[in-house]
Amino acid sequence: MPMLITPEYLFSSVSAITPAFLKEKGVDALVLDVDDTLTAHGSQQLDAEVEQWLGRMRAAGVKLMIVSNNTKKRVSPFAARLGLPFVSMACKPLTFGLAAARRRFGVPRARMAIVGDQLFTDRLAASFFGIPALVVSPRGGPARKDIQFKRRLEQPFLRRYYQKGGKLL
């Protein structure tokens, strides 16, 4: 079970994920989490750094789709602002949202990956679905109490990543 949760790749931010890295891994479709991945939790604002990163991904021909556990009311305006399709109420770590995204992308699993900040939702969903997880350091300010609790539970898995020779990319 620990390998299901221990990150495969750990990035300082979404902007550290490059088209060259994706090409090397054979990935041309990214499923994107919203809260604490693209923006601060609950925010509709997008940092210039993330906006530029989305532009680089689009220019490289990478297919992008938001897949969030949050409600349509939260995700829809954010996705519309970015011009991205979305799946809300994805129920990660269950794989319903990832399966819906794969069908909409029209790509095999081997060509897609998920970008997210939480090990017990994003990373675990990727493990169950059989795709890589590109785990990013959380964006934004102080997390809610429930998220703070989950972050503490993630620590042994993050330590294991580094003990196995993993690096912050």
Res 151: pLDDT: 85
Q: What is the pLDDT of residues 101-115, one digit of tens each?
A: 999 999 999 999 999
CA distance 63 to 85: 10
Residue ranges in the chain whose pLDDT is less than 70: 1-2, 141-143
Q: What is the pLDDT of residues 60-76, one digit of tens each?
A: 999 999 999 999 999 99
Stated pTM of the model: 0.93
Tokens of 138: 């959380």
CA distance 11 to 1: 22
Res 90: pLDDT: 96
What percent of the chain shows pLDDT beyond 70? Answer: 97
CATH top-level class for 9-164?
alpha beta
Res 141: pLDDT: 63
Tokens of 100: 């819906």
Q: Where are the domains of the chain?
A: 9-164
